[in-house]
Amino acid sequence: MTRLFANANYDFIGVRRYAYGVTAAILLPGLLFLMLMGLNYSIEFTGGTLVQIRSQKTVDVAQLRSGLDQQGIHGAEIQGFGAPNEYVIRARVAKPGTDANDTQATAAAVSHALDTVLGQGTYSVLRTEAVGPKVGGELRQKAFLAIFLSFFAVLAYLAYRFEWRFGLAAVIATAHDILATIAFIGVMRLEVSLTIVAAVLSMVGYSLNDTIIIFDRVREDLKKYKKDPFERVLNRAINETLPRSVLTHGTTLATLIALAVFGGEVIRPFALVMFFGVFTGTFSSIYIASPVLMAIEQRWPGALARGHMGTTPTPPPPSPAGRKPQPVGR
């Protein structure tokens, strides 16, 4: 039997203050950067036109830009996309003098510029996206609403299944994850698209998953070891679930690496965000959710935690393998 982290006995909760330092060191510069630079929203959210082309010859980007300028489309972004002769052109402003919510004029102007600069028939359009600012605004609203509401749904469910203290701790940890991930998206200059919103929500689910598995063990251990201080119960639960965490994170990261490397240009940002989410989710389950739960229980002890709130200094917990099997079951 190969066992990773068997009999692990790390004092996770004891070093929580250092962990807070790490969180602050990551979050504060990240959020500062976010405030200064803002997020890089995709066409879907800002409105605008995106055209992905495959050209037969190399595209002179400067020439293409001046061609777009001539059509009244200023400040367009032109980028290589994946393959060497594939480009994405993003025009966020509408052609002047046209109704911005009627996307056709701008789209026509972009294709006209392409025709004149590259020559008709020397390129093929792989993908077009044209979104009016009104639709984009609605979508942005919906995305925030989705993240926000899912928050409360999860809080309600956890309050029902565990109790509100656990739910609150889990949601605070999730809030941390979302902030950290958004900061990551900002610093990496990833484009915030619907796919990224999907990645953030999946990351939320994943991180909650992790927190719940630790909390489930905490709930069980609180009943099992009636005399232990709360801190030791937490530490034990985290250590006991460590092999599972390592394995699951391993398989998830394996699929994410496969997606990032082979999944293509559209999926790569999704994989990157999830990849980051696995780390921040694991970190927050251990160092945010658990200490916050402890703080809440100290302040407003629940029925389960009562009796675990002794003020005695905690000796390191005994190793799980060394202890005698305890009667289990509820």
Span 122-151, contacts to another protein by CB under 8 A: 124-132, 134-135, 139, 142-143, 145-147, 149-150
**250 lies in the site for another protein, by CB under 8 A:** yes
Q: If you ran DSSP here, which 8-state letter would residue 287 be given? A: I
Candidates 134, 139, 128, 140; CA nearest to 99 is 134
| Binding range to another protein, per CB under 8 A, among 23-31, 71-79, 175-183, 241-249 | 241-249
Q: Give the one residue of 77, 102, 223, 316 binding another protein; rule: CB under 8 A.
A: 102
Distance CA 81, CA 100 (A): 26
Shortest spacing between CB 264 and another protein, in angstroms: 4
Q: Give the one residue of 10, 213, 225, 279 binding another protein; rule: CB under 8 A.
A: 213
Q: Give the one residue of 35, 36, 62, 321 binding another protein; rule: CB under 8 A.
A: 321
The 10 Å Cβ neighbour count of residue 151 is: 15
Candidates 108, 98, 101; CA nearest to 137 is 101
What residues are paired with 80 via a beta bridge?
87
Shortest spacing between CB 271 and another protein, in angstroms: 7
Distance CA 105, CA 133 (A): 14
**248 lies in the site for another protein, by CB under 8 A:** yes
**221 lies in the site for another protein, by CB under 8 A:** no
280-319: which residues touch another protein (CB under 8 A)? none
Q: Give the one residue of 194, 306, 309, 316 binding another protein; rule: CB under 8 A.
A: 194
Candidates 42, 44, 41, 40; CA nearest to 130 is 44
Contact track, another protein, 24-53, x by CB under 8 A = ----------------------------x-
Helix/strand/coil (H, E, C) string of 133-150? HHHHHHHHHHHHHHHHHH
**99 lies in the site for another protein, by CB under 8 A:** yes
Going through 163-249 in order, the beta strands assigned E by DSSP cover: 191-192
Nearer to another protein, 16 or 210 (CB): 210
Nearer to another protein, 16 or 197 (CB): 197
Distance CA 295, CA 147 (A): 26
Encode burial over 61-73: b for 16+ CB neighbours within 10 A, e otherwise: eeebbebbeebbb
Shortest spacing between CB 328 and another protein, in angstroms: 7
Q: Give the one residue of 204, 237, 272, 273 binding another protein; rule: CB under 8 A.
A: 204
Shortest spacing between CB 290 and another protein, in angstroms: 15
Distance CA 161, CA 155 (A): 10
